[in-house]
Chain A
Amino acid sequence: MAHKIGVGIVGAGVVSQSIHLPVLARRCDDFAVAAIWDVDPVASALLAERCGAGSSLSFEDLLNDPQVEVLAICSPVRFHADQVVRGMLAGKRAILCEKPLATTVEEARRISEVAKATGVPLLVGAMHVFDPAWIALRDQVDLLAAGAISIRSNIVLPPNARFEQWASELDGRATGPGPSLQPETIRSAVLQVAIHDLPLIRAFLPKGRQIKVIAASLHEPFGYSISVACGECVLDLSAHFYSGWQPRWELEVASAAVAVHIEFPPSFVHAGSSVATSWSGGRATVLGPFEANGYEGEWNAIHTLLRGENADIPPVEDIVGDFQLALDIAEQALTILVREYEQ
């Protein structure tokens, strides 16, 4: 029987249950969930039992488990940097860390140093980077990257009980009241929501140019809009959380002669890839939907890597650059909002 890559899951929450375990179950010929660890031992044990894996008693225990070759870090963000670094130093073969990578630039840099020193490949769970339609769009991306003049990222989500439970397939998934309209919310909105597409957006921004956040605002029931300038390109970031039923997740980029529009499925759902449409010279080309989604793309890349082939994953400098971009937008937007609220 072919070797199955042993996976260790850190954190037994929603993302592990609704995103990674279903993908790994579909890829059971190539992967086996070896062990699960959560600070809550009951959560680890229950989930481990459901998927026939071992339940580790501590993070150390998981790191020392020889069957765990790859770590999927699905804990809250404040633990990511430490767990990624320890996983690399423990000699794991690859690390998949959920977004956001870290909480500070210093943490991200430390991860980068250790990744370079140990040579352990790192993937960040910004799943759209691994979406097959996005990957198929690469030629257009290269064409556009040289002359993008406007980028629009708009995320409409219905974070209500109906959508959350159906999307995650978890009963009783807490939804609670929406985020408040206090300035601080913009920071977490960027680092939790906008961040999904920032690596894609960064591919179109002029290299080596600073970004400048020109405006930021929040609106009811919860939404944000942020205007950013970078070189000769405007970036229009917005989101709207509402009680309706339809999610809509779009990214659109234009140059003087080419435009692309990508419509992604929302987080958690395993509904195939995005659909990417590009226009140039009066011709529209549609790519997708493909059967696999970005979550599967992440695990496909890990599988390819561990077979010793080129998986074309973003280099760690790009991963750190993506995180820096997100943090920069979040901090600048927060400064603007705080100033406005004080006036």
Chain B
Amino acid sequence: MDKVDVWLIDGSGAWANAAMGCAGRGSGKIVVVVDPGMDDPDSIRQLTAVIEKGSSRIAMIETFPGNPALPGFLRNLADSVSYMHFQAWTTGNQGNAVLSQLRLARALGLEDISLRDICALPDSCLLSFQALRSGCRLSLRFLVTASSALPARHVIRGYAADALAILTVYDRNTARPAEALLTDASGQHLLPAIYETAHRFMLRNLGNQTASLTELTAFADDVELTRSLGLN
């Protein structure tokens, strides 16, 4: 029996197998996957089954969807949003950027995300989806630009019948706070933000921030969808 309570696993490789190994090494462990990437979806589903059977818990630290600004942005996003635009500036590959966009969409309460069209080029892509938010249909677009012109970031724009919302989330290399700007009839508000990355936020809240099995399954689905796009 080892004395480790919390396992930290680098999510860039075959993290699901590694997580299964750690979860199986005794009870009451917390397995933390840092920036989980596009591992094999079946291994991720297998991991779900292992966690379900055992007594270990799993947590995922995701740079963009885990940013502490997201819940506040979500709370303030108008109900009548009919169109959302997700823009990724990345210096890495487009597939990882799209996976982060899907994860962000989930974190913002979008469900039943179904792909309608894709325009994939060597250094950029543009995808259209339909999704549901609180039961209402909305159009969704992802634009990815692989460029070193700007430091990596995601910009999410929500367009409603009477309001606009823009959220900019910066990469993990900077703890620069996300900017959540909301414009409605009462004016324009920059939501309060803190100098904290998703990583510190998650580690600080580890006791009560573990992922549910549904979240893990959703992650596997997102990886599957992203892989099916065959992006660079």
Residue B123 interfacial (CB < 8 Å) = yes
A166-178: CB near B (< 8 Å → 1, else 0) gives 0000000000000
A302 to B51, CA, bound (A): 73
Q: Which residues of chain B in 94-139 are interfacial with respect to chain A, using CB atoms and an 8 Å cutoff? A: 116-119, 121-126, 128, 138-139
- The segment out of A50-58, A95-103, A119-127, A240-248 that lies at the interface is A240-248
Q: Are A149 and B145 in contact (CB under 8 A)?
A: yes
- The segment out of B36-44, B156-164, B172-180 that lies at the interface is B156-164
Q: Are A149 and B124 in contact (CB under 8 A)?
A: yes
- Given the contacts A219-B82, A223-B159, A232-B123, A245 and B139 also touching, CB distance less than 8 Å: no
A221-251: CB near B (< 8 Å → 1, else 0) gives 1010101110011101010101111101000
Residue numbers in B under 8 Å from A182 (CB-CB): none
A154 to B119, CA, bound (A): 18
Residue A117 interfacial (CB < 8 Å) = no
Q: For residue B157, which residue of chain A has the nearest CB? A: A154
Residue numbers in B under 8 Å from A156 (CB-CB): 159, 164
Residue numbers in B under 8 Å from A185 (CB-CB): none
Number of CB contacts from chain A to chain B under 8 A: 124
- Given the contacts A234-B121, A244-B184, A219 and B138 also touching, CB distance less than 8 Å: yes
Residue numbers in B under 8 Å from A244 (CB-CB): 160, 162-164, 183-185
Partner of A243, one of B125, B141, B147, B162: B162
- Given the contacts A149-B147, A229-B119, A279-B150, A242 and B162 also touching, CB distance less than 8 Å: yes
Residue B228 interfacial (CB < 8 Å) = no
Q: How far is the CB of A234 from chain B (nearest CB, A)?
A: 4
Q: Which residues of chain A in 144-196 are interfacial with respect to chain B, using CB atoms and an 8 Å cutoff? A: 149-150, 152, 154, 156
A234 to B145, CA, bound (A): 9
Q: Are A227 and B139 in contact (CB under 8 A)?
A: no
Residue A214 interfacial (CB < 8 Å) = yes
Residue A258 interfacial (CB < 8 Å) = yes
Residue A48 interfacial (CB < 8 Å) = no
Residue numbers in A under 8 Å from B147 (CB-CB): 149-150, 254-259
Residue A28 interfacial (CB < 8 Å) = no
Chain A residues within 8 Å of chain B by Cβ, number: 36
Q: How far is the CB of A148 from chain B (nearest CB, A)?
A: 9
Residue B1 interfacial (CB < 8 Å) = no
A220 to B159, CA, bound (A): 9
Q: Are A220 and B123 in contact (CB under 8 A)?
A: no
Q: Which residues of chain B in 146-203 are interfacial with respect to chain A, using CB atoms and an 8 Å cutoff? A: 146-150, 157, 159-164, 183-185, 188
Q: Are B123 and A149 in contact (CB under 8 A)?
A: yes
Q: Are B185 and A245 in contact (CB under 8 A)?
A: yes
Q: How far is the CB of B159 from chain A (nearest CB, A)?
A: 4
Smallest CB-CB A-B distances: 7 pairs: A215-B117, A259-B149, A150-B124, A214-B119, A149-B123, A220-B82, A240-B159
CB pairs A–B below 8 angstroms (23 shown): A149-B121, A149-B122, A149-B145, A149-B147, A150-B123, A150-B124, A154-B157, A217-B116, A217-B128, A221-B161, A223-B82, A223-B83, A225-B85, A229-B119, A232-B121, A233-B124, A234-B124, A242-B160, A244-B184, A248-B164, A256-B147, A256-B149, A257-B147
Binding site for B on A (CB under 8 A): 149-150, 152, 154, 156, 214-215, 217, 219-221, 223, 225, 227-229, 232-234, 236, 238, 240, 242-246, 248, 254-259, 279-280
Binding site for A on B (CB under 8 A): 80, 82-83, 85, 87, 89, 116-119, 121-126, 128, 138-139, 141, 143-150, 157, 159-164, 183-185, 188
